[in-house]
A and B are shown apart, each in its own frame.
Chain A
Amino acid sequence: MATTTELLQGTLDLLILKAVSLRPEHGYGILLRIQQISGEALQIQQGSLYPALYRLEHQGLIESDWGESENKRKAKFYCLTTAGRRRLKDEAAYWKRFSEAIGLVLAAAPEDL
C-alpha cells in the first residue's frame, strides 16, 4: 500500500523545496532526489512534477535559470528564494511536530490512554 501512496500536494511541495535547498537542481535531478529521499515509496508521473514546480515559482518560493547539466546538456535549474527558504523551515517544523505527534499516538500503550 505504501508504495503507491497518492502524493498529497503539500507533501510534494515540501519534497521539492527540500530537494532544491541543498543545491540548484534541474527537473530530472529533483525527481531523482525525491525518489531517493522517499526511498522509492512515492511514485508520481514524472511530468506532474512540472506544474508543481511552476506553481512554486509562481508563488516566488523558487526561481529558475538555464544552465548546463553534469552531462553537458542544457537544463533549467531551480533554487530556493529567501521566501522559499523560510517556507521550507516552517513546513519542516510543522511536519516534524506533526510526525512527533503521530509517533506519540502510535507509541502510546493502552494503559496510557
Chain B
Amino acid sequence: MSPLPRVRSFLSAFLRPRRLEADMEAEWRAHLEAHTDALVAAGMSPADARRRARLDFGDPLRWKEQALEVRGVGWVNGLGADIRYGLRQMRRTPVFTATVLVTLAAGIGLNTAVFSVIDAVLVRSLSYPDPERVVWVATVDRDLEMVVSLDFLGWKEQAATFDGLVAFDTSEYVVYTAGNAAESRVAWVSEDFWAISDAKPMLGRLPRSGEDALVLSHAFFVRAFDADPAVAGRAVTINGRQVTIVGVMPPGFRPQLTKPFASSGLPEKAIDAYRPWTIRPFEKLANGISVTRSFNVIGTLKAGVSVERAEADLKRVRGLTQSANPDFRLFPTLRVVPLKEKIVGNATRPLIILLAASGFVFLIACANVAHLFLARAASRRGEVAIRAAIGAGRWRLSRQFFVESALVAAAGAVAGLVVARWSLATIVRILPYGVPRLQETTVDGRALVFAAAAAIVAALVFGMVPVWSLWKDDARGVLKQALTGTLPITGKLRTRTTLVALEFALTIVLLVGAGLLIKSLWRLTAFPEGFHPDRIVTMRIQAVGPAYRQEGAQRAHAAEVLRRVSTVPGVRAAALTTGRNFDAGLIREGDPPPKPGQRPPQARGTVASAGLAQVMGLRIVKGRWLTDSEPSPAFVINETLARRHFGDSDPLGARFAAPGFDPNAWATVVGVVADRKLQKLDDPAEPEIYIDYAHALRTSFSLVASVTIDAEAAAAEIRRSAARVDPAVPIFDIKTLEAALADSIAPYRFNLFTFGLFAAVALLLASVGIYGTLAYSLSRRTQEIGIRLALGAPRGEVVGMIIRQGMTVALIGTLAGLGIGAGVARVMSGLLYEVSPSDPYIFAAAAAVLLLAGLVASLVPALKAATLQPLVALRHE
C-alpha cells in the first residue's frame, strides 16, 4: 500500500486542523439532519427526533478525538491541551509568571546580546572575499606604526607573495553639493582596493586608473543624496576641489578599513565615501619641501602563502629599497599580521570574560526560576497525586510539566530578544568604540537560534527539577496526605538552599569583577582638583576651499571664530588648539644635529592660543604664557620637560628648532607650566610643549571653550556664532571634553558597563532568590511559628531565627564565591588598570554589598513572621 495518502492526510490534519474540524462538523451536521428527517418521517415529533438523533450519534467529542488519532495527530491535540493548560496556569498566577519572565528575559537577553557581540567581533569573518588571506602590513618605530611610500612602492613592484596591496588613510571632509554640505569620512584607497574588496558598484562604475573621483557608500548615498539615482556623474566639491561621483556601493559593502586604535588615537567612524589614491615616492608641497607620505597598508596574500613567508618576502624587498635610497631611513621593524587579529586581537580576552560573566547571570536566572517552579510544584503535589491516581502516567505528567516550563521559557526567549536588541542598541549608542566592530553587531538569525537554544536549556534545567521530585514521590502516600491535609511541610528545602548558595557564590564573583573594573575606571578618570571637563566644550574647525588657499587665510578665519566665540554669553574663556596630537622632536640650538637613525628627544606638542591656559587651568610656574601676537616663534614647556632637559638651569630664553614651526626659525621658551594630567593620574607625566598658534604650521584647529552655563546649550550657541563667520566652513565633533576623554578610554568603560550591568542583575536575582526561599519556607512553617508564638517565644527570637536561616545560606555562598572570585580576578588582570586583581578592599566591599542585600531580602519575610497573630497562624493550613 502506498504511504502517500497517509502522509497527505497527516499533513493536512497537522497543518490545517481548523479546516479539518469544520469539515467533520459539517459532515456530522448533515448526518444528524438526515437521521432526524428519517425519524420524523417515521412519525416522531421534530423535537423528539432531534434529541433521539443526537443520542444515536453519541458523543461528538469522543469521535473527534478518535478521528484525530487515526490520522496520527492525536498527540498534537494532547499537546494542544497541555499548552492550553499551561497558558491557563500562567494566567492564573500572574505574579509568578511575571517574575519568571523578567528573570528569564534578563538571563536570556543579556546572553543573546553578548553572543551577538562575540559573533560580530570574533566569529564573523571580515567583509573581504578571502578574509583569511587579508593581512595588515606595517613598519614600526616605537609607538608609530605606518608605512611610507618608498616601502609601499617597493613592495608593489617586487613582492611576489601578494595578490594585492592597498595603501589607505581616512579623514574627515565636507562634501559640498549644490546648496548642501555634508560631513563625511572619506577613505583614500590605492588601486588594488577595488580588486581585493571585490567592489561591485550598485550604481555607476568604479574609478578608472589615475582618475580623481568619489565612490559613495550606500549609507552616505541615502543620508546626503536622498538615494537619488542621478547622483552618479554629478560633480561635488571636496577639500576645495571638484570631484565627480562615479558610483555608489551596495548596502552590504563594508570592508574593514579601520586604522588600529593605537595609531589613530581616536576611534573610527563608518566610511562614507572612497576616493582613489595614487601613491608617489615623494610629493612636493606648496612651499617646495619634498615629503614622503605615510599611511596604512593591507594586502591579500596569494593563495597558500603563509604570513611568515610574506613577511620574509617583504623584508627582502625592504633591503633593496633601503640600498636604493641610502639617505632615507626606513622604519626599523616590519610587522605582518592577519587583519582580523589586528582589528579584534585585543578584544578577544575581554569578550571571553564577558561571555563567562553573562553565563553566570544565566545560571543564576535558571536557578531562580527553578526555585519558583519548585515552590509551585510543591504546592501542586496534591493535584499531581490526584491526576496520577485517576490514570495519568508519569510520562504524561512529565510532559505536562515540561510543556509548562517550555512555554515560559519560550516567552522568556521572546522577551529576551527584546532585551538583547535594546541593550545592544544602548551599548552601541553610548559606547560605540568600546569594542572594535561593535557597530557591526546585530541581533540576527543566529542570535535567534542562540536565544532558542538558551531557552531550551533553561526549560530543561528548571522544568526538570520539579519533574524529578515528582518521580521520586510515592503517589499513593502523597494522595493520602493531600486528602487529609497532612502533606509534609519540609518540601524540597535542601534543594532550594543549595540553589540559593550557588546563586550567591556566582554573584560574588561578578561583584568582585565589577568592583575591580570600577576601581580601574576611577583610576583612569580621576580628574585633577578644580578641573571640570564637563564644563569645557571642544569642536573642530577646518576651513578649506578656494577662499582659503592663500597663506594665513585659514588662521585668520580661526582667529575670527575665536574672537566671536569669546563674546558668546556663558563662555568664560575660549582658545584655539590642536589638542596633544603630535610628537615633536626637539633640537636645541647649539646641539649637534641628530645622527641618521637617532631620534631627537621627543615631546607631545600642542598648538595653543592665549586663552588655553585659562580654559584648561594650566598653572604658570615660571616666565609667562603665550600671547596671540608673539613677534617671533615662542613656546611654553611643562615641568617634566624642563626637569629632563635643563635640570637646575633656567630654561627661559633657550631656543629650539621644532617641527610644527617654520623649520628655518628658532623658537624661544618663554614660560614653564605645571604638569597637568587629565587622565591616568598615576602614570608619570610626559614631556610637553605648547606652541604659539600664530607661528605654527597648522591649518585646522580645535576650539575649546570653558563655559559657565549648561554645556549643551552653550555648544549650540557657540556653533551658531562660529558658523556666522563663514557658513561654508564645517564645525565637527562638538562635544564636552568629558565626552572626548571618555571616548579615549571606551574599552574600559565598555567592560565596566557590561560587567556592572551583569553584577547588578545578578545581585537582584540573588536577593529575589533568598527572599523567595525564605518566604516559601515561612509559608510552610506558619503553623510552627504560630505555636512558638503561642507558647511565648519572643518576636525578636522569631525574627532572628528567620534571618539566621537566610544569612547562613548567604554566608556559605559568599565564602565559596570569594574563592572562585580570586581565581576569576586573576584571569581579569589584563582588563584592569593600576588595580591589583587581589585588592582586598574590593573583595571586602563586594562581600559586604552582597551580604547586605541578603540581609535586606531576609528582613522582609522575617518581619512578616514577627507580626503573625498566633491564632491566625495556628489555623493556617
A residues lining the B interface (CB < 8 Å)? 26-28, 31, 45-48, 50-51, 54-55, 57-60, 69, 71, 73-76, 83
B66:A28 contact, CB within 8 angstroms: no
The 6 A-B pairs with the shortest beta carbon distances in the complex, nearest first, are A60-B5, A51-B66, A45-B58, A47-B58, A55-B70, A28-B34
A28:B35 contact, CB within 8 angstroms: yes
B4 CB-CB contact with A under 8 Å: yes
A27:B27 contact, CB within 8 angstroms: yes
In angstroms, Cα B371 to Cα A91, docked, is: 60
B63:A51 contact, CB within 8 angstroms: yes
B6:A60 contact, CB within 8 angstroms: yes
A27:B67 contact, CB within 8 angstroms: no
In angstroms, Cα B62 to Cα A1, docked, is: 26
B27:A45 contact, CB within 8 angstroms: no
> Which of B33, B37, B60, B70 has the most CB atoms of chain A within a 10 A radius of its CB?
B70
Task: Specify which of B1, B4, B24, B35 is in contact with A46 (CB 8 Å cutoff).
Answer: B35
A sample of 30 inter-chain contacts (CB < 8 A) reads A26-B30, A26-B31, A46-B57, A47-B28, A47-B57, A47-B59, A47-B60, A47-B62, A48-B66, A50-B24, A50-B28, A50-B67, A51-B63, A51-B69, A54-B67, A54-B71, A57-B5, A57-B9, A58-B9, A59-B6, A60-B1, A60-B2, A60-B4, A69-B30, A71-B37, A73-B30, A73-B34, A75-B27, A76-B30, A83-B2
Residues from chain A with a CB closer than 8 A to the CB of B34 are 26, 28, 69, 71, 73, 75
Residues from chain B with a CB closer than 8 A to the CB of A50 are 24, 27-28, 63, 67
Q: Closest CB-CB distance, A43 to chain B, in whole Å? A: 10
B56 CB-CB contact with A under 8 Å: yes
B4:A51 contact, CB within 8 angstroms: no
Task: Specify which of B6, B26, B28 is in contact with A74 (CB 8 Å cutoff).
Answer: B26
In angstroms, Cα B581 to Cα A87, docked, is: 92
> Which of A27, A54, A59 has the most CB atoms of chain B within a 10 A radius of its CB?
A54
Q: Closest CB-CB distance, A47 to chain B, in whole Å? A: 4
Q: Closest CB-CB distance, B514 to chain A, in whole Å? A: 61
Cβ-closest chain B residue relative to A51: B66
In angstroms, Cα B33 to Cα A55, docked, is: 24
Known A51-B69, A76-B23; further 7 A-B contacts with Cβ < 8 A: A46-B56, A50-B27, A51-B63, A54-B71, A58-B10, A58-B72, A76-B26
The DSSP consensus for interface residues of chain A is helix
Residues from chain B with a CB closer than 8 A to the CB of A69 are 30, 34
Q: Closest CB-CB distance, B37 to chain A, in whole Å? A: 7
In angstroms, Cα B3 to Cα A59, docked, is: 8
Residues from chain A with a CB closer than 8 A to the CB of B6 are 58-60
Given A46-B31, A46-B57, A51-B67, verify A83-B1 contact (CB < 8 Å): yes
A59:B5 contact, CB within 8 angstroms: yes
What 1/0 mask marks residues of chain B from 1 to 32 whose CB sits below 8 Å from any chain A CB? 11011100110000000000001101110110
> Which of A58, A59, A76, A83 has the most CB atoms of chain B within a 10 A radius of its CB?
A58
Residues from chain B with a CB closer than 8 A to the CB of A46 are 31, 35, 56-58
Q: Closest CB-CB distance, A67 to chain B, in whole Å? A: 11
In angstroms, Cα B549 to Cα A27, docked, is: 97
Task: Specify which of A28, A54, A60 is in contact with B31 (CB 8 Å cutoff).
Answer: A28
Task: Specify which of A27, A54, A60 is in contact with B70 (CB 8 Å cutoff).
Answer: A54
Task: Specify which of B1, B2, B58 is in contact with A48 (CB 8 Å cutoff).
Answer: B58
B30:A48 contact, CB within 8 angstroms: no
Cβ-closest chain A residue relative to B4: A60
What 1/0 mask marks residues of chain B from 354 to 369 whose CB sits below 8 Å from any chain A CB? 0000000000000000
In angstroms, Cα B38 to Cα A31, docked, is: 13
Given A28-B35, A58-B5, verify A48-B26 contact (CB < 8 Å): no
A73:B33 contact, CB within 8 angstroms: yes
Given A46-B56, A47-B58, A51-B66, verify A75-B30 contact (CB < 8 Å): yes
Residues from chain A with a CB closer than 8 A to the CB of B9 are 57-58
B70:A58 contact, CB within 8 angstroms: yes
In angstroms, Cα B67 to Cα A50, docked, is: 7
Residues from chain A with a CB closer than 8 A to the CB of B26 are 74, 76
Residues from chain B with a CB closer than 8 A to the CB of A59 are 1, 5-6
Q: Closest CB-CB distance, B541 to chain A, in whole Å? A: 80
> Which of B5, B60, B72 has the most CB atoms of chain A within a 10 A radius of its CB?
B5
A74:B30 contact, CB within 8 angstroms: yes
A58:B71 contact, CB within 8 angstroms: yes
Residues from chain B with a CB closer than 8 A to the CB of A73 are 30, 33-34
Q: Closest CB-CB distance, B74 to chain A, in whole Å? A: 11
Q: Closest CB-CB distance, B61 to chain A, in whole Å? A: 10
Cβ-closest chain A residue relative to B61: A47
In angstroms, Cα B58 to Cα A73, docked, is: 22
In angstroms, Cα B26 to Cα A73, docked, is: 11
Given A46-B31, A71-B37, verify A51-B60 contact (CB < 8 Å): no
Cβ-closest chain B residue relative to A75: B30
Q: Closest CB-CB distance, A88 to chain B, in whole Å? A: 14
Q: Closest CB-CB distance, A23 to chain B, in whole Å? A: 17
Residues from chain A with a CB closer than 8 A to the CB of B69 are 51
A45:B70 contact, CB within 8 angstroms: no
What 1/0 mask marks residues of chain B from 67 to 100 whose CB sits below 8 Å from any chain A CB? 1011110000000000000000000000000000
What 1/0 mask marks residues of chain B from 652 to 687 whose CB sits below 8 Å from any chain A CB? 000000000000000000000000000000000000
In angstroms, Cα B29 to Cα A26, docked, is: 12
Residues from chain A with a CB closer than 8 A to the CB of B4 are 60
Residues from chain B with a CB closer than 8 A to the CB of A45 are 56-58
Q: Closest CB-CB distance, B49 to chain A, in whole Å? A: 14
Q: Closest CB-CB distance, B528 to chain A, in whole Å? A: 84
A48:B5 contact, CB within 8 angstroms: no
In angstroms, Cα B60 to Cα A45, docked, is: 11
> In B353-407, which residues have CB < 8 Å from any A CB?
none
> In B233-254, which residues have CB < 8 Å from any A CB?
none
> In B578-593, which residues have CB < 8 Å from any A CB?
none
Q: Closest CB-CB distance, A3 to chain B, in whole Å? A: 16
A76:B27 contact, CB within 8 angstroms: yes
In angstroms, Cα B715 to Cα A81, docked, is: 85
Residues from chain A with a CB closer than 8 A to the CB of B59 are 47
Residues from chain A with a CB closer than 8 A to the CB of B23 are 76
Residues from chain B with a CB closer than 8 A to the CB of A60 are 1-2, 4-6
In angstroms, Cα B37 to Cα A71, docked, is: 10
Task: Specify which of A28, A51, A55, A58 is in contact with B30 (CB 8 Å cutoff).
Answer: A28
Cβ-closest chain A residue relative to B8: A60
In angstroms, Cα B27 to Cα A69, docked, is: 12
Residues from chain A with a CB closer than 8 A to the CB of B24 are 50
Residues from chain A with a CB closer than 8 A to the CB of B62 are 47
In angstroms, Cα B163 to Cα A69, docked, is: 80
Q: Closest CB-CB distance, B299 to chain A, in whole Å? A: 65
> Which of B26, B60, B67 has the most CB atoms of chain A within a 10 A radius of its CB?
B67
